[in-house]
């Protein structure tokens, strides 16, 4: 059997699959985010490890005697987080997360320091990435910066606790701004601009290769063999791609989790930083991918539900009852609750409801939230298409994939077939387990079949036309707010 561990922002998920790719058991453990100051977003790496230990105990009970049949473990994780360790491997400060936007000033500094950044790293300097976070620490916490021996990404901290080895993979490393993404190796020049060297970095492997084996003491405690291999693993989106079988050029999926992602596989390194499109390595050799990323997706829905004191299930039911006329008259919502990446690269972008009246009710505002997030995904598709990337259809994964209404809305807005899969909510953890299979020597064809289709949602031409009128207003609202903020 094969184990996949996915370290997300809101939870750690783990699942076990057998030789036939069937899910045997799965479980998750919640995580919380600390926001001690505006723009800050942090987590304690110790809490990730605690959650992982709890999951291993739980899954061991669920699997019973079969637990010892686990041959390899794959890892998936939230990208860009900065885990800073001293010489003894002790944590120096809480991890600064991907959705932390404190380092906007350092991004401008890095762009100036490293004119080669866009071509080498394939991306603009944005506060989400790891490199600007280290420049921030160097400026604001010099006593901590001076003690840094290693910088690890979140899932690589779990690997370090599991194996004692500091190793990363190409896909996750591509999100640091220190990787030469075309060459799939650290860039000494970009590291040096941040006061770091290769010595501070983990060694690199491909996501589907063996990185290390379990540390014997830990293996014994977990009830596993010390010969259990740990695959390179990858950043959450590239690993989710393995979970939905997105392995060939043109394969695409939308992930509606805390953040929103549109992911397309490419056969070459194709940077398009001018529109804040991300170009990263895939978890497979000689494969890359482009991504548009919005910082708040399903988290907008969670935020609104907290605000109005209802559950997502109840609100989605109410939204589904709305008439076409009610939806057409609904307010518009900008989903920029944590700033925005693609296509605006604007950490100061703000969320808003526009067009409220006495007739506005919980359901129409809830609809506006779903629609606004979907328009944000449409922004991403537009700039990917402008960069020359084509896709015929999109799979839908993440928490938002559980809503039939949202799947249909996305198909109508994007004017593309949207495919939901059976078990689509386990994307990252399933992909991680599949990477474990590949590391153990199974073939790509045997492991990465596309999961069974649950339903194909197709665009309705009339609804698409009506939604495009609202989309034009959505784009104008952001532009007006930007003009207001910058003049």
Please give the annotated binding residues, written as ranges: 79-80
Choose, from 100, 236, 379, 412, the residue flagged as catalytic: 236
| Binding-site entries for substrate | 79-80
236 part of the active site: yes
Please confirm whether the linkage preceding 93 is cis (ω < 30° from 0): no
User: Residues with catalytic annotation?
Assistant: 236
């Amino acid at each position: 059997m094969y184990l996949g561990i996915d370290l997300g922002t809101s939870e750690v998920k783990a699942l076990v699959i057998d030789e036939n790719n069937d899910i045997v058991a799965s479980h998750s453990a919640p995580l919380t985010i600390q926001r001690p100051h505006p723009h800050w977003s942090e987590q304690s790496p110790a809490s990730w490890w605690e959650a992982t230990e709890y999951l291993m105990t739980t899954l061991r009970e669920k699997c019973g005697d079969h637990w010892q049949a686990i041959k390899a473990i794959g890892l998936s994780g939230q990208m860009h987080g900065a885990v800073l360790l001293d010489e003894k491997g002790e944590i120096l400060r809480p991890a600064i997360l991907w959705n932390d936007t404190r380092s906007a000033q350092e991004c401008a500094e890095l762009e100036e320091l490293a004119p080669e950044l866009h071509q080498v790293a394939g991306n603009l300097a944005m506060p989400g990435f790891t490199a600007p976070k280290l420049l921030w620490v160097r400026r604001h916490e010099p006593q901590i910066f001076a003690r840094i021996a290693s910088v690890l990404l979140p899932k690589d901290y779990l690997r370090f606790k599991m194996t004692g080895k500091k190793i990363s993979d190409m896909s996750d490393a591509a999100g640091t701004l220190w990787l030469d993404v075309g060459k799939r190796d650290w860039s000494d020049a970009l590291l040096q601009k941040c006061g770091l060297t290769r010595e501070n970095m983990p060694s690199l492997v491909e996501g589907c290769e063996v990185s290390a084996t379990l540390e014997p003491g830990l293996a014994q405690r977990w009830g596993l063999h010390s010969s259990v291999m740990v695959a390179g693993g990858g950043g959450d989106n590239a690993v989710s791609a393995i979970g939905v079988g997105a392995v060939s050029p043109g394969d695409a999926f939308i992930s509606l989790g805390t953040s929103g992602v549109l992911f397309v596989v490419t056969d070459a390194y194709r940077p398009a930083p001018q529109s804040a499109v991300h170009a990263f390595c895939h978890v497979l050799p000689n494969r890359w991918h482009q991504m548009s990323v919005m910082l708040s997706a399903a988290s907008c829905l969670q935020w609104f539900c907290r605000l109005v004191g209802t559950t997502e299930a109840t609100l989605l039911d109410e939204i589904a009852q709305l008439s076409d006329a009610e939806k057409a008259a609904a307010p518009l919502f900008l989903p920029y609750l944590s700033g925005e990446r693609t296509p605006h690269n604007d950490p100061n972008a703000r969320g808003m409801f526009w067009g409220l009246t006495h007739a506005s009710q919980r359901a129409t505002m809830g609809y506006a939230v779903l629609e606004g997030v979907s328009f944000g995904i449409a922004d991403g598709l537009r700039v990917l298409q402008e960069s020359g990337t084509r896709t015929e259809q999109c799979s839908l994964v993440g928490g938002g994939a559980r809503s039939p209404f949202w799947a249909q809305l996305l198909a109508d807005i994007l004017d593309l077939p949207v495919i939901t899969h059976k078990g689509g909510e386990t994307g990252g953890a399933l992909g991680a387990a599949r990477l474990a299979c590949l590391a153990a020597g199974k073939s790509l064809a045997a492991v990465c079949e596309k999961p069974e289709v649950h339903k194909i949602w197709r665009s309705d031409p009339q609804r698409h036309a009506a939604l495009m009128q609202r989309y034009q207003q959505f784009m104008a609202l952001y532009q007006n707010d930007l003009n207001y903020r910058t003049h």
